[in-house]
Each structure stands twice: as C-alpha cells, then as structure tokens.
Amino acid sequence: MRLFSRKPKGGADVRKKYLYSNKGAVGMKIVSDPPSEKAGLDVIFVHGLTGHREKTWTHQNNTFWPRDLLAKDFPQARIMTYGYDIDIDEFSAAAFLNDLNDLGQDMGYSLVSQRNECPSRPILFIAHGVGGLVCQQTLILSNNIDGLWQISSSCMGVIFMGTPHGGSALALYGEKLAKCMDIVPSANWEISGPCGLGSDYLHRIEDDFGAVLHTDSPPKIFYFYEVIVMNNEVGKIVEGQAAVLREYDNGRINANHFDMVKFGGNSDEGYFSVRSVIMGWLQEPHREPSANISPAGDNGGRSTPPWLWGLEMQVPITFEGPSMRNMS
C-alpha cells in the first residue's frame, strides 16, 4: 500500500533541497579513520526519513561536518555514517513498524562488522529524525542477540536530533514531511490515536529502550529540538515536547528540522552545542575502561576520566556557553 503520491506541482524547491536518493549510499561508510592503536571512540551518524548518509549532514557551503569539523576536533575518533533505504514515497506506518526491527538489526550487524579488532571501543550515536528510532532498536536488539551484545555494552551515549517520540509524534512527523514536500496522502496514517495500528508496538519499543537506559551502566542521552518552522502552514516537523524526554538533558538548535543537522563551520552555534555535549560526556567517568581504550598497564595515577584515556583532543575542553540543560 502506498501512503503518499506526489503532486505534479508545488514543493519542488523543498524536495530538491531536502529529499535525497539513497541509491548507492546504503550501509556503513567510514569518513575518518585514525590508526587503530590511536582510536579511542567510534561515532556513528544515522539519518532519518528522506535522508542520506552524507547529504543529510552537509551544509550548503559543502561542509560535511562529521568529516570536516568533528574529525578535526576529535582526531582519535573513528567516524562513520550509516545509510539505509527508507523512501517517503513508499512509507507507511505499517511498513515502517514491520521494517524497524530489520533496520535496527541491519545497522547492528553492519557496525559489528567494523569492530572485529575493537569490540569494546566506546560508541557514540548521533541520529536525526527516525534515525533515532533505528538507533533505539539497535540498542534494544543488542541486549537480546548474542552477536550484537557488544553494542549496548560499549555505547557511551546517543544524541537525538529532532527524533519524534511516541505514536502521535511519529504520525505527525510523516504527515508534516508529506505536506512540506507536497506529497499527498493516499491512505490514513494508521498509527495515529491511542488505539491505532502499531501503537502497542511503539509502547513496547519505548518500554524496551527504557530498560536499556536503566541498566547498571546506561548510555548517556541528549535531545536536541528544532526552533524554526518549515513554513507557516507546516510549522515545525517535530515540536519540542515531542523531541525530548524531560528527565534527560535537552537543548535547542536555531534551525528548521533539516538544517538542524547541517553546520557550516566551527563557529556555528549548533555545532558548538553538539561538540560541547560530546566533550562533557568525555569528561565524565562512565565505566571501567577496557584494554582496547586504556593505555598499557594502569592509568599512571592520572585523574583523567576513562572516556579520555587514549583520546587526546585538539580542542580545549572548556565550556564558555550557557548551560546545556533545558536550554531555551
């Protein structure tokens, strides 16, 4: 069943700017790869609906910030982007829910295949839109599938950027994206409403991810939400209250849903905010370091937190901006 069909006219500029083809861009791609003996962190970027593993994160000035900014600020982080086939023209609530388990499992195995020589290296996910739900599913499955266990046990944290949480938020997400790009619904968004198709499944996902967050050594979580509307008719693709869970740290990015993950330089306020979250996490003790990320022997009496062992950064770890908790 097709949920959307295209209008012959209208929305062309928005589609041209933000609707990408994933042809040839599926799977894990390494964009920064320091020598394995120096690498101390794996960062994985995961796009959302209408997204692309490179274009989603590329500013109009051609800055591909995972490679051009983050890799320079964190030179001992291996940085990867993950692409998967999710087509808004073929997107439906039922199809998405049916595919979510496979999407999460595929990404999990793709990541594990890149970590044969470093299975305990810390992992950081940065996810946009429904890419955050794919990350959640990967972490959930990691707790239940032997071949994926290393992901949840090594996950340092997840940065969600404009991810819709809950059935009604996901329904509005699809509807607003369709309206923004002048794609006309040809069927009801069945997931909407407390008794809608898939609502029980989404509740189970939320419960299962909650269990991941309440383990002895849970991943850190940060939610970013968009501030600028797409247009007066659509508004924001994901409203602030739908993009955050209030018990966790969250902050705003002064951009629309698509541009909130496109940074043009180090001075970009949005990039500074994301970088500050990562730096803050790296300064906090998380769990005992494994042999893969700690230096030979003990730490030599240093007070450096475990996440920083073997991870020297060129950018000084300073926090001159506002508090990152509930920024408004």
pTM of the model: 0.81
Tens of pLDDT along 240-294?
A: 988 998 789 999 999 999 999 999 999 999 999 999 999 999 988 654 434 333 3
Number of H helices, E strands in the chain: 10, 9
Mean of per-residue pLDDT scores for the chain:
78
pLDDT for 92: 56
Indicate the CATH number for domain 4-308: 3.40.50.1820
For residue 95, the model assigns a pLDDT of 64
Q: What angle do CA 24, 259, 97 make, to 5 degrees?
A: 60
Calculate what percentage of the chain has a pLDDT beyond 70. 70
Lowest mean pLDDT among 74-78, 134-138, 199-203: 199-203
Give the CA distances from residue 77 to residues 196, 215, 294, 322, in Å, rounded to whole numbers and listed in that order: 42, 25, 14, 26
Task: Return the C-alpha torsion angle 15, 225, 246, 45, nearest 10.
Answer: 80
Structure tokens, 317: 């770890």
Q: Where are the domains of the chain?
A: 4-308
